[in-house]
Amino acid sequence: MLILGLFAINVRIIFVNVLDRQLKDRLKTLAQAAALDLELDGGEIEVDKEPLVSPNQAIQWFDTQGNLIDQQGEYVVNLPFNPKHEIQTQLTPYPARSLTSPVVEYDKKIFIGYTRVSESTVELNNTLQSLDMRLGVGVVVALALSAVGGIWLTRQAMKPIEQSFQRLQRFTSDASHELRSPLMAIKTNAAVALKYPDGIRDLDAEKFLAIKSASTQLTALTENLLMLARSDRGLLPQPEVIDLSTLLEELVRLYQPRFEEKEIDFKAQLQEELLIFGDQIQLTRLFTNLIDNALRYTLTGGTVEVRNESKGDRLSASVQDTGMGIAPEHIEHIFDRFWQVDRGRSYQLGGFGLGLALAQGIAQNHGGEITVTSELGRGSCFIVSLPAYQS
Ligand SMILES: Nc1ncnc2c1ncn2[C@@H]1O[C@H](COP(=O)(O)OP(=O)(O)OP(=O)(O)O)[C@@H](O)[C@H]1O
Ligand SMILES: [Mg+2]
């Protein structure tokens, strides 16, 4: 827009300058011819008119005091006579430009009067108007064409990126899927070996325990990656009408023993019958991840509360804890993949930094979102907002 605008303005300026110069040249030529018509005849000034060549021009002759002696042509200007202004512009009753110049008698070299020649600028204005029109239309058309071209080019450029992103997603989901069976085999074999500890040495038993724990972690990671790849593709494998309250009640019941074990007060305040349309497994995973975080990042003696409510055409469910909280500068990152506030610590706690990324992906697939409020050292509250089911 800027380049086209500058181009159009420049073209107009150059055009106006050229037209202006041509007009001045024509007026000067006319003034020279008009000066020859003014004669000094025995002390009296006389005008010896000759026919005008151009119908849109006019001539006025003045004496040395500036009194009008004679005039010729249709387009004379009505402006007051002013010898100090060589060029004058008239707007009404018709647009015209005039040139005033003194006349000196050729032989005796005496000053005998003035001529004021003028030309109507109607035609010039029309030319400028049509130039403006053409430039305007040209700029608009060029802009429209470059916008269309820009969109087309961007789409072309995005194609390979989209393709490689899809390939990456497929790779992640295929790889995690393929990793599940061998991992399961390792885990089961380690478990079986540990079941009969008599036959193995104490040191070996420890190694088997380590294998079992590592394979459990890896299984969780591959499950997470698989789910993440699926949620990236926006898949809801089995959408159905789900009661959010029942789903949360079930989870609270399931997690109660683990909270008791850590001596955290785990409460639920659930309303009946809050229906949503979605995938049971994904939604369960979403809230499991939030509750799991609350359990993991809250110290003994704390409180965790799960709540849900209906707000018009949306439902919200929240998990609030009195845990360690998240610093303001970290909040914008917690939904990133593999991001953890304290990598070492979280890893010891068995995390990979995928839980919230997955939860956010699932919420978005269901037309919802997760928001968080948190204060360092005081606790956090994760609120999931989802569209309510409308029959
Ligand atoms: N309730 C919470 N209180 C304090 N910090 C939290 C809470 N929930 C998440 N965080 C912070 O956000 C980070 C990212 O959370 P996320 O659930 O994505 O990963 P994770 O819990 O570390 O691992 P994963 O969930 O994959 O097992 C965590 O490492 C933790 O530092
Ligand atoms: Mg987590």
Domain hosting residue 188, numbered range: 153-230
Around ligand 1, the residues with Cβ closer than 6 Å are: 289, 293-294, 297, 321, 323-326, 334, 339-341, 346, 351-357, 380
- State in Å: Cα 317 to ligand 2 middle: 17
Q: Looking at ligand 1, which atom is closest to the CA of residue 335? A: 18
pLDDT score of 181: 92
Counting ligands in written order, the one closest to the CA of 319 is: 1
- Number of the ligand 1 atom closest to the C-alpha atom of 340: 29
pLDDT at 328: 94
Q: Hey, which of 295, 306, 334, 374 would you mutate to test ligand 1's pocket, going by the most ligand atoms within 8 Å of its Cβ? A: 334
Distance of CA 141 to the CA centre of its chain: 23
Which of 99, 120, 141 is a domain's end point?
A: 120
Residue 340 CA to ligand 2 center (angstroms) comes to 9
Q: Examine the domain organization and report whether 97 and 193 are in the same domain.
A: no
Task: Name residue 291's amino acid.
Answer: I
Per-residue pLDDT of the chain (391 residues; tens, 9 = 90+): 899 899 999 999 999 999 999 999 999 999 999 988 888 777 778 888 877 778 899 999 998 888 998 999 888 899 899 888 889 999 988 899 999 999 988 777 888 899 999 999 999 999 999 999 999 999 999 999 999 999 999 999 999 999 998 898 889 889 988 999 999 999 999 999 888 888 888 888 889 999 999 999 899 889 888 888 888 888 777 899 999 999 999 999 999 999 999 999 999 999 988 999 999 999 999 999 999 999 999 999 999 999 999 988 999 999 999 999 999 999 999 999 988 887 766 656 668 899 999 999 999 999 999 999 999 999 999 999 999 998 7
- Note whether residue 281 is domain-resident: yes
Q: Is the pTM of this model over 0.85?
A: no
| 92 lies in the same domain as 219 | no
Ligand nearest to the CA of 322: 1
Rg (CA), the chain: 45
Question: Considering its fold, how many domains does the chain have in total?
Answer: 3
**Domain assignment present for 141:** no
What is the rounded CA–CA span in Å between residue 179 and residue 241? 32
- Taking the centre of ligand 1 as the mean of its atom positions, its distance from the CA of residue 340, in whole angstroms, is 6
Nearest to 336 by CA among 312, 360, 317: 360
Pair (310, 210) in one structural domain:
no
Q: State the CATH number of the domain containing residue 281.
A: 3.30.565.10
* Closest Cα to atom 12 of ligand 1: 334
Q: Which residues of 30-42 are buried (b: 16+ CB within 10 A; e: fewer)?
A: bbeebbebbebee
CA distance 281 to 305: 22
Residue 134 lies in a domain: no
Give the span between the Cα atoms of 5 and 339, in whole angstroms. Answer: 47
Task: Please give the Cα distance from 231 to 245 (Å, whole number).
Answer: 23
Residue 81, amino acid = F
Tokens of 67: 């009194």
Considering the domain architecture, whether residues 205 and 248 belong to the same structural domain is answered as no
Write phi, then psi, for 345 (nearest 5 degrees): -65, -50
Tell me the ligand closest to 344's alpha carbon. Answer: 1
Q: In the listed set 177, 196, 230, which residue is the last one of a domain according to the structure?
A: 230
**Which CATH number covers residue 42?**
3.30.450
pLDDT at 349: 64
pLDDT at residue 347, rounded to an integer: 59
Same domain, yes or no: 219 and 250: no
What CA–CA distance (Å, rounded) separates 220 from 222? 6
